[in-house]
Amino acid sequence: MDFDRVRSEYSILTIMAKLGCDMTHNGYMYKAPFREDRTPSMHVDERRNMWCDYGSILPDGRRAGGGNIELVRLMFGLNSNKEAAEKIIDICGGLCESYEPPRTVKKESEKKPGIEILSSLNMITNRALRNYLRGRGINPDLANLWCDEVDFRIGASGKHMFAIGFRNDRDGYVLRNSFFKGTNVNSISTIVKDSPIVGEAWKDREFCHSHPDAGKGKVMVFEGFMDYLSLLTMRGVRKPDCDCVVLNSTVNVGDAVSFLHRHSRIECWLDNDEAGRQCLEFIRDRCGEWKVTDMSPTYCRNNDLNEYLTQAIKGSDLQQRSLGRGL
């Protein structure tokens, strides 16, 4: 069988459509059809006829992805490329839909635009952003210690937008507002307890990857900075009592391993979904199961720690500080 022909002539978009998998309104994003996926995290590159699942982690720490054959193998649990190729032909009714990637390279103006940071403020003053934080159960004054207000645009001709910006270890920003989440540079964010720059100066620190001040005791792992701020909120503190890693995406977990290895105990405050479980197992495999504590049972009825916080605030008259007892 000519596998190259199958790869090029059967569009992943067509396969997904014939299997009843709907694309989201955001374009070329699907719920991963081979695992539990609450929010669409699988992207299809129509031009290259390739896919990438931002919520799946391979044993080596890379994202799961590939062409149509790899996708169908995962979806149906097939053991060989031959079986997958035959399944693709069967799905498409035996008719080969021609799929020809463009023969010319896209012009620079046609390429997917990136995020450009225009300016940042050390204090979150935008009313919409402050209301967004309050809606997530986070006091804006606490967020000011760890986040900036960032003015950015997507592409040179994009409109200006404002977001809460959380710095990462590659001198980039993780950006969040009520309708947007993204990053200009993808990386983890490490927070070292005994460093003199924890707190207000953390946002302005010089970036280095050696972490000379990293301790040997406990380290806490979070998927996103909202979860990190949620735990500080629930405990009624302004900074953590141990080192922390905010992954900013589970696909970055491989970058955190060397930092985690320096600690004797690892607390994982990860999401209650398939991506969170895969991330937990990856950390256990790489750092030693005896060192790792899964904290997600604490908020087992919620998807993540921030949802637990917001639901607790809405459903109870307890003070936020009391919510952190025993956590």
- Residue-by-residue DSSP string for 287-304: H-GGGEEE-GGGGTTSSS
For residue 203, pLDDT beyond 70: no
Asked, for residue 97, whether it belongs to a domain, the answer is: no
Assess whether 133 and 29 both reside in one domain: no
pLDDT of residue 41: 81
Closest CA to 18 of 103, 130, 93: 93
Q: Which residue range forms the structural domain that includes residue 69?
A: 3-91
Q: Which two tokens stand for residue 166?
A: 């959380």
Task: Count structural domains, the chain.
Answer: 2
* Res 100: pLDDT: 43
Kindly report the CA angle at 54 between 48 and 55, in degrees rounded to 5? 140
Give the confidence band of 6 by pLDDT, cuts at 50, 70, 90: confident
- Residue 109 domain flag: no
CATH no. for residue 84?
3.90.580.10
Integer CA distances (angstroms), 186 to 19, 59, 84, 174, in order: 32, 20, 33, 8
* pLDDT at site 210: 47
- 152 in the same domain as 226: yes
What are the two backbone dihedrals, phi and then psi, of residue 317, each rounded to the nearest 5 degrees? -95, 5
CATH of the domain at 287: 3.40.1360.10
- The pLDDT of residue 186 is 85
Q: Classify 27 in phi/psi space as left (phi over 0), alpha (psi -120 to 50) or beta.
A: left
* Average pLDDT of span 253-264: 90
3-class secondary-structure state, position 78: coil
> In terms of domains, do 38 and 123 share one?
no
Q: In this prediction, what percent of the chain has a pLDDT beyond 70?
A: 80
Residues 24-45: what's their mean pLDDT? 79
User: Are residues 78 and 125 part of one domain?
Assistant: no
Residues 6 or more apart in contact with residue 112 via CB below 8 angstroms? none
Q: Which residues pair with 178 in a beta bridge?
A: none
- pLDDT for residue 95 is more than 80: no
39-48, 212-221, 280-289: segment of lowest average pLDDT: 212-221
Q: Does any domain span residue 18? A: yes
Cα–Cα–Cα angle for 102, 15, 37, nearest 5°?
A: 110
Residue with tokens 């909202």: 226
What is the C-alpha separation between 45 and 67, in angstroms, rounded?
Answer: 10
Maximum alpha-carbon separation in the chain = 66
The answer to whether the predicted template modeling score (pTM) of the entire model surpasses 0.75 is: no
Evaluate if residue 199 carries a pLDDT over 60.
no
- 31, 37 in Cβ contact below 8 A? yes
154 lies in the same domain as 299 = yes
* pLDDT: which is higher, 257 or 197: 257
Of residues 53 and 130, which shows the higher confidence score? 130
Q: Do both 53 and 131 map to the same domain?
A: no
Q: Kindly calculate the radius of gyration of the chain based on its CA atoms and give it in whole angstroms.
A: 22
pLDDT at 104: 41
Lowest-confidence region among 60-69, 183-192, 283-292: 60-69
Q: What share of the chain is helix, strand, coil (3-state, %, to 5)?
A: 35, 20, 45
- pLDDT tens sequence across 49-87: 889 887 777 766 677 888 999 999 988 888 888 999 988
pLDDT at 94: 62
